[in-house]
Amino acid sequence: KAGVTQTPRYLIKTRGQQVTLSCSPISGHRSVSWYQQTPGQGLQFLFEYFSETQRNKGNFPGRFSGRQFSNSRSEMNVSTLELGDSALYLCASSLGQGPEAFFGQGTRLTVV
Amino acid sequence: AQSVTQLGSHVSVSEGALVLLRCNYSSSVPPYLFWYVQYPNQGLQLLLKYTTGATLVKGINGFEAEFKKSETSFHLTKPSAHMSDAAEYFCAVIRGGGYQKVTFGTGTKLQVIP
Average pLDDT per consecutive 10 residues, chain A (112 residues; last block may be shorter): 90 98 95 92 91 90 97 97 97 80 93 98
Count of CB atoms situated within 10 Å of the CB of B78: 21
* Pair A98, B98: CB distance under 8 Å: yes
Interface contact B99-A90, CB threshold 8 A:
no
In the prediction, which pLDDT does B26 show? 86
Residue B97 has pLDDT above 60, yes or no: no
Q: Which of B29, B94, B102, B106 to mutate to test the interface with A (most CBs of A within 10 A)?
A: B102
Cα–Cα distance measured from residue A83 to residue A12, given in angstroms and rounded to the nearest whole number: 11
Nearest-CA distance from B97 to chain A in Å? 7
pLDDT averaged over every residue in chain B: 90
Q: Between residues B2 and A73, which one has the greater pLDDT? A: A73
Average the pLDDT over B65-89 and give the result. Answer: 95
Is the pLDDT assigned to residue B86 strictly greater than 70?
A: yes
B chain contacts of residue A35, beta-carbon cutoff 8 Å:
104
The alpha carbon of residue B44 is apart from the nearest alpha carbon of chain A, in Å, by 6
Q: Chain B residues contacting A, CB < 8 Å? A: 32, 34, 36, 41-46, 49, 51, 90, 94, 97-107
CB A99 to CB B104 under 8 A?
A: no
β-pairing verdict for B19-26 and B73-78? antiparallel
Average pLDDT over residues B80-87: 97
pLDDT of residue A95: 84
Percent of chain B whose pLDDT exceeds 70: 92
Could you read off the pLDDT of B7-29 as tens digits, one per residue? 999 999 999 999 999 999 987 77
In this predicted structure, what is the pLDDT of residue B100?
Answer: 61
Average pLDDT over residues B82-86: 96
Instruction: Determine the Cα–Cα distance for residues B106 and A62; give it in Å rounded to an integer.
Output: 25
Closest partner residue to A103 (CB to CB) among B41, B43, B51 is B43
Q: Decide if pLDDT at B37 tops 90.
A: yes
> What are the helix and strand counts (H, E) for chain B?
0, 11
